[in-house]
Amino acid sequence: MEEANAIQANSGEQPSWVSALQTSLDAMQAKLENAQQNMDAKLDRIGSQMEEHLRGVREEMGQLREYMDKHGEDMKQGLDSFREETNRNFETAEADPKCGPKRRILRF
């Protein structure tokens, strides 16, 4: 090692293997930086796609919520009407003198 340092100090130049090693390290560093930039670009693209997808999902959920609110209310009104009609039929059957306690006819 001392001999290499002495040669370097005397000649003012680096040994060829040091230059080759430095060139190789510089190339590896450049590849790593390029890979990092590519990874960052891919992650940005994935993030943008996910945001776009989430916007679509939120929009569809809003439409589904509106649909369920509208049709849920329609179904509730239909059930209420059915319940009222059924109650009227029970009252009619109970009030009809032809229908004894054993013969109750329900009409829907």
DSSP secondary structure code for residue 97 in this structure? T
Q: Would you state the pLDDT for residue 73?
A: 87
Distances (CA, A) of 58 to 11, 14, 49, 90: 71, 63, 14, 47
How is residue 99 written in tokens?
């229908």
Q: Would you state the pLDDT for residue 3?
A: 59
Domain ranges of the chain: 19-95
Q: Would you state the pLDDT for residue 108?
A: 53
Residue 89: exposed, middle, or buried by beta-carbon count in 10 A (0-12, 13-18, 19+)? Answer: middle
pLDDT digits (tens, 9 = 90+) for 41-88: 999 999 999 999 999 999 999 999 999 988 888 898 989 999 998 888
How is residue 47 written in tokens?
């993030």
